[in-house]
Chains A and B, each alone.
Chain A
Amino acid sequence: MAGAAALATGGLRSALAAPAVLKQGSKLTFWGGLIFSEGANKLLADAVNKWGADNGIQTEVVMINQNETVQKVSAAVQSNSMPDVLDLSLDLLLVLSQQGVFLPVDDLFDSVGKAQGGWFAAVDKASSPSLLGGSRTGIPFGVSGNLLLRRKDLLEPAGFKTAPTTWQELVAEAVAVNKPPLFGLGLALSNVGDGNLQVSVLQSFGGRIADDAGKKAAIKSDATKAYLQWLKDAWDKKIFPPGNTTWDGAGDNQAYLAGQAAFIANTGSVGIAAKSQDPELYDGTAYSSLPAGPKQKISPLQPQLRAIPKTSQNPDAAKALIEYLSQPDFISAYYETAIYGPVLQAQTQFKAFDGSNPIHAGLLDLVKNGTAPGYPDVYNTAYADTANNFIIPKMAQRVVIDNWDFDRAMDEAQTQAQSIYDKYK
């Protein structure tokens, strides 16, 4: 651990050997991503302000609710009022980078990576220039993604000591503990981000959103039919909590915290909430990666990144701030309170990832063994648009709500997805 820290610190010194000359008295606005940890939010805001004070730069920190980032950033782009630095998801970075909204930061990406043992391969691939219009336009600072949360206090007495390894096993275990008002499987099938977990399930059955070129929709297939069969069988066993087809973004969180679901897939925020609100539930919860399907295991990671808009009046200071926020002293403390996995190899030695915290252990596992966003599909703007239109959750709703046969549901999804992909030709 000491060696890694030395590697990180020593490397960082070399990365910072030629700092840019910062304009004393200049201003810098930072939009940080508000997360489910007050401690982490305060730590970030304090760090930015301290950096500003140390460098003679007037900083303004605005913490943006991550559910509102898309709207606020879109309005800021249109009104030419972007901040100097902002936190955002890869989805949004991808779309805006295609429009040339951000400055290239390849040099910073390289120096930060070199300073801390290199980027994790999946993180490197997820933010590659080929996705982002030819340059690195964001510096990853954390990884989130879905973990499988399970009620081990209920499952172990029922004979299930370990996490389910396949989606079929998951259903079998969910059926075994399904006693309404406790339902076995708390997965959202609604028009919200959580509903798009179904894309990963579909892909693990071998289904695809588009072809290998990422140009032509490829939803209709035997593999998709197998996924729909799995879903319909699970639905008919009545293991989903009622209301899951119209849940909002907090639906699965609330169901789990209310003791209405034995399994959910969640980024870990539920665990944080349970720790303070219901310690008994926290102790009775185990975390694991998402199960595999008949074809493969799909567990996509979602990097969070920091980017510098081209409209920034203070790009040197913006780069310096991002570099500062990547330093071990800050990011180590931040990870301990935030719900993010590491992005750099040396960060695995941080206290947050020593295995004592099951959520962070799950996130570390996700970074090491998870799949790149969209994989096996090509993660491009058409793919992101398809996800944002909830084509797969809606296909699932057609099957379970409207009782459409699989071919009809796949036909509709295929047509809609193709019309989306056609827009990006």
Chain B
Amino acid sequence: MSILSKSRMSGGAKQSLFAYLLIAPVVALLLGLVAYPFFYAIYISFTNAVVGNPGHWIGFGNFEYLSHNPAFLNSISNTIFLVIVSDGLKLAVGLGLALLVNQRFVGRGIVRSFLMLPWAMPAFVVFLTWRLLYQPIGGGINLVLTGTGIYPQIVDWLGQRSTAMPAVVVATVWRGFPFWFVSLLAALQSIPGELYEAARVDGANAWQRFWAVTFPGIRPVIIVTTLLSSIWTANSFENVWLLTQGGPSDATMVFPVLAYFGMQTQRLGEAAAVSVATLPILAILVIVATSLMHQDDE
């Protein structure tokens, strides 16, 4: 009996070992490509490393320097504003279009494909095109506004503090809404039609059907999409860089652009500190989203 049991244990241990061996390459890959760069970035944010010199430990020196940098302080509020406003708008546009395209009508497939185009285009093409549209002289938006008489004055969309960030938000929303749209459309299609029929029988109007049936059905997808989109928006570089380079007067300065400026000056420690400073914000976002998902699961 004991020999048999020992033999079984040995077989189980072998199986476990084999399983560990199978996942070892993936674990090594994750450690090498995710964990190592992540923790190395945190480490060098506490050093005065520059290109060609690993530097030495300086504690919170880089963070102290950043805390006195007006561009960094502006980048905090700008990044939060950009994430909240653009993701709010992406939700509104994406959900509205998903509800619309979820209805049956002729050419629905073509419309769905067409709405995915902004997401399919390379980001630099999108934002350079928006830059051309925003041009004060000869830009498409000003031509339409002045040509139709809606607004006779030329507007320097990217060159004024009052309009620069809204202009960046609009371009960011245009580029990002298809991800929301397709995610929410998939969620809408997974809601059983019987639930709507039951709600109708109970006398629910359209608004009540949305809140009682549609919204609970798509809520988990909204949470996950919000989480992913917020992280992408907070880390997005091309939109601000190609439109304004963070200007005018830091009106659109965000974390990734500031980190890029740090890299331009070869000061790796400082650049890493800018990126590391975003971690608490993103961590809060992830924790909130994860707890909401857990609530849904329960």
* Physical interaction between A and B: yes
Q: Does A101 contact B (CB under 8 A)?
A: yes
Of A78, A243, A415, the contact of B51 (CB 8 Å cutoff):
A78
Name A404's closest neighbour in chain B (CB-CB).
Answer: B249
Q: Given contacts A246-B245, A394-B249, are A389 and B52 in contact (CB under 8 A)?
A: no
Indicate if the CB atoms of A99 and B53 lie closer than 8 Å.
yes
Pick the residue among B51, B158, B265 that contacts A246 (CB under 8 A).
Answer: B158
**Contact flags B244-257 to A (C-beta < 8 A → 1, else 0):** 11111111000000
Closest to A415 in B: B68
Q: Which of B53, B68, B156, B245 contacts A190 (CB 8 A)?
A: B245
**Contact between B265 and A389 (Cβ–Cβ < 8 Å)?**
yes
* B51-83 interface code vs A (CB 8 A; 1 in, 0 out): 111000000000001001111000000000000
The CA of A190 and the CA of B247, in the complex, are separated in Å by 7
Could you tell me the distance between the alpha carbons of A242 and B134 in the complex, rounded to whole angstroms? Answer: 11
State whether B68 touches A246 (Cβ < 8 A): no
A320 at interface (Cβ–Cβ under 8 A)? no
Candidates B52, B159, B263; contact of A243 at CB < 8 Å: B159
B243-298 interface (Cβ within 8 A of A)? 243-251, 261, 263-268
- Contact partner of A77 (CB less than 8 A), chosen from B51, B245, B246, B261, is B51
Q: Give chain B residues whose Cβ lies under 8 Å from the Cβ of A415.
A: 68
Tell me, yes or no, whether A316 is within 8 Å of chain B by CB.
no
Q: Among A51-59, A123-131, A162-170, A395-403, which stretch is in contact with chain B?
A: A395-403
Interface residue B50 (Cβ < 8 Å from any Cβ of A): yes
Cα of A78 to Cα of B266 in the assembled complex, Å: 11
Give bound CA distance, A423 to B53, whole Å.
Answer: 15
Task: Pick the contact of A258: B51, B53, B138, B247 (CB < 8 A).
Answer: B138
Q: Which of A73, A74, A100, A260 has the most CB of B within 10 A?
A: A74
Looking at chain B's contact residues, the main secondary structure is loop
Which residues of A are in contact with B by a Cβ distance under 8 Å? 70-71, 73-74, 77-78, 95-96, 99-101, 180-181, 190-192, 241-246, 248, 258, 260, 384-385, 388-389, 394, 397-398, 401-402, 412, 415-416, 419, 423
Question: Are the CB atoms of B68 and A244 closer together than 8 Å?
Answer: no
List 4 tightest A-B contacts by C-beta distance, closest first.
A99-B52, A242-B136, A242-B156, A397-B249
- In the complex, which residues of chain A have a beta carbon less than 8 angstroms from the beta carbon of B68? 415, 419
Instruction: For B51, list chain A residues within 8 Å (CB).
Output: 73-74, 77-78, 95-96, 99
Q: Which chain A residues lie closer than 8 Å to B154 at the CB level?
A: 242
> In the complex the two chains form, is A99's CB within 8 Å of B247's CB?
no
- Complex contacts, B160 vs chain A, CB 8 Å: 401
Which residue of the partner chain B has the closest CB to A412? B70
- From 122 to 138 in chain B, residues with beta carbon under 8 angstroms from any chain A beta carbon are 135-138
B164 close to chain A: CB less than 8 A: yes
From B53, B70, B138, B264, A416 is in contact (CB under 8 Å) with B70
8 Å CB contact of B249 from A384, A389, A398, A416: A398
Q: In the complex, what residues of B have CB within 8 A of residue A180's CB?
A: 137
Contact A401 B248 (CB under 8 A): yes
B137-A419 in contact (CB<8A): no
Q: 14 other contacts beyond A246-B158, A246-B244, with CB at 8 A cut-off?
A: A74-B51, A74-B263, A77-B51, A99-B51, A180-B137, A190-B245, A191-B246, A192-B245, A242-B136, A242-B156, A243-B135, A245-B248, A389-B71, A397-B249
| Residues of the B chain whose Cβ atoms lie less than 8 Å from the Cβ of A96 | 51-52, 266
Question: By the criterion CB–CB under 8 Å, are B158 and A243 in contact?
Answer: yes
- Assuming the contacts A181-B137, A243-B156, asked whether A402 and B249 have C-beta atoms less than 8 A apart, the reply is yes
Q: List residues of chain B with CB within 8 A of the CB of A388.
A: 261, 264-265
**In the complex, what's the smallest C-beta–C-beta distance from A48 to chain B, in angstroms?**
25
A99 pairs with B265, CB closer than 8 A: no
Measured CB to CB, the closest approach of chain B to A243, in angstroms, equals 5
User: A243-B159, A258-B138 known; A191 and B247 CB under 8 Å?
Assistant: yes
Which residue in A101, A246, A389 is a CB contact (below 8 Å) of B243?
Answer: A246
11 pairs, A vs B, C-beta closer than 8 Å? A190-B245, A242-B156, A243-B135, A243-B156, A246-B159, A246-B248, A260-B137, A389-B265, A394-B250, A397-B248, A423-B65
- The yes or no answer to B209 lying at the interface (CB within 8 A) is no
Q: Verify A77–B52 contact, CB threshold 8 A.
A: yes
The interface residues of chain B lying within 8 Å CB-to-CB of A419 are: 65, 68-69
- A313 CB to nearest B CB, Å: 18
Q: Which residues of B contact A244 (CB under 8 A)?
A: 159
Most chain A CB within 10 A, of B52, B53, B246, is at B52
Chain A proximity of B50: nearest CB distance (Å): 6
Q: Which residues of B contact A190 (CB under 8 A)?
A: 245, 247-248
Which of chain A's residues has its CB closest to B138's CB? A258
Residues of A within 8 A of B158 (CB): 243, 246
B161 within 8 A of A: yes
User: Which residue on A lies nearest to B261, using beta carbons?
Assistant: A389
> In whole angstroms, how far apart are the Cα atoms of A180 and B146 in the complex?
15
Shortest CB–CB separation between residue B91 and chain A, in angstroms? 28
Residues of A within 8 A of B161 (CB): 401-402
Using CB atoms, name the residue of chain A closest to B167.
Answer: A246
Residues of B within 8 A of A260 (CB): 137
Distance in angstroms between the alpha carbons of A87 and B138 in the assembled complex: 38
- Bound-complex Cα distance A221 to B248 (A): 24
